Amino acid sequence: MAQKPRSLREPLRTSAENSKNPKAPKGARRTGGHGPGRGHGTPLSPLLRVPSGEPVDLDAFDPGGTPGGPTDKAAGVAATARMAERLASLQERLYAASTAGDRRRVLLVLQGMDTSGKGGTVKHVVGLFNPSGCRIKAFKAPTPEERNHPFLWRIAKALPQPGEIGIFDRSHYEDVLIARVRELVPRSQLGRRYAQINRFEKSLADDGVSVVKVFLHIGYAEQRERLLERLDNPEKHWKFNPGDIEERSAWPAYQQAYELSLERCSTDAAPWFVVPADRKWYRNWAVGKLLLEHLEDIAPQYPKGDFDVDECRARLLAT
């Protein structure tokens, strides 16, 4: 399997958890150090982006790493908070531009294993924006009506409008992840779905949608700790499903399914980013930073007024 560019992976360390779980080692907790790109002015996107068309080995990514990020939790929380003003300004410009016909918008797609923090990321990311300009959709198992349509039908219905920031908690990728692991569709049909997804996302990009796809990468041991936290806290029992325990036995299969999705669907039009998610503060900072960089690339501008400012001022002063 091809080696990752150095900027995309953390140093690997031996872990006791690996030796205890030889049949489910993928993503097991490692104690790797900080990644490259330590300077806060360094763009994060190139560090976390999955190269197009290259084989992906998730074992090469340290889920506890902090590539390109702050050095500790306090610094990470502070850095995330500092992004809010700039993000809000760019969001307002994006919406303002849409009133003059600009069709550009942003779609954040969050995927990850159970307990990887998709919901927590949504909570913290939305907190950095004006929520009235965000469109959030959490995808569950398809309804009977949705099953009567092509798998991308329900996705298209939930897309953000021009000027909005859309956030998907799970997405169309469930139809090549769960469908693969649970063998819900023939493998030949899965192959066609990857191609359909790429064409769909390319059409979104052509229509002004900046698609930011984030895989929240947690370790096998970290998932167990988070599930135990839910069991040990009665206030979190509503988040726990006994089926989560059985799903852990399918960890290697899910990791392989994600690797295939990352390999086949990281494109120039809609790249994938692997965000280490064992450290929640880093996860929140990294997703916020990725959104900030994409919005700055869009560089939305306030539209010019289609009226005579001086004439309107004179009329207003006369009232």
pLDDT value of position 188: 85
Among 79-83, 122-126, 185-189, 242-246, the range with the most confident prediction by mean pLDDT is: 79-83
- Whether the per-residue pLDDT at 10 is higher than 80: the answer is no
- The residue-averaged pLDDT of 174-202 equals 94
pLDDT value of position 197: 98
- Whether the per-residue pLDDT at 71 is higher than 70: the answer is yes
Q: What is residue 116's three-state secondary structure?
A: coil
For residues 69 and 76, give the distance between their C-alpha atoms in angstroms, rounded to a whole number.
Answer: 7
pLDDT value of position 114: 96
Among 187, 227, 192, 214, residue whose Cα is nearest residue 48: 214
Average pLDDT, the chain: 89
For residues 257 and 171, give the distance between their C-alpha atoms in angstroms, rounded to a whole number.
Answer: 15
For residues 108 and 37, give the distance between their C-alpha atoms in angstroms, rounded to a whole number.
Answer: 23
For residues 209 and 105, give the distance between their C-alpha atoms in angstroms, rounded to a whole number.
Answer: 5
- The residue-averaged pLDDT of 164-178 equals 97
- Domain spanning 41-317: CATH 3.40.50.300: yes
pLDDT value of position 7: 38
pLDDT value of position 187: 87
pLDDT value of position 85: 96
pLDDT value of position 192: 95
To 10 degrees, what angle do helices 251-265 and 174-181 make? 140
- Whether the per-residue pLDDT at 100 is higher than 70: the answer is yes
**Looking up tokens 């300009």, which residue turns up?**
133
Cβ–Cβ < 8 Å for 294, 104: no
pLDDT value of position 136: 97
Among 198, 196, 181, residue whose Cα is nearest residue 259: 181
Please state the domain extents for the chain. Answer: 41-317
Question: pLDDT tens digit string along 207-235?
Answer: 999 999 999 999 999 999 999 999 999 99
End-to-end CA distance of the chain: 74
- Whether the per-residue pLDDT at 179 is higher than 50: the answer is yes
Phi/psi of residue 214, each to 5°?
A: -120, 125
What percentage of the chain has pLDDT greater than the value 90?
83
- pTM, entire model: 0.87
Question: pLDDT tens digit string along 254-312?
Answer: 999 999 999 999 999 999 999 999 999 999 999 999 999 999 999 999 999 999 999 99
- Whether the per-residue pLDDT at 39 is higher than 50: the answer is no
Phi/psi of residue 143, each to 5°?
A: -75, 165
DSSP E strand boundaries for the chain: 105-112, 134-138, 165-169, 209-217, 272-276
For residue 62 the two structure tokens come to 């340290």
280: left (phi over 0), alpha (psi -120 to 50) or beta: alpha
Top-confidence residue, 185 or 2: 185
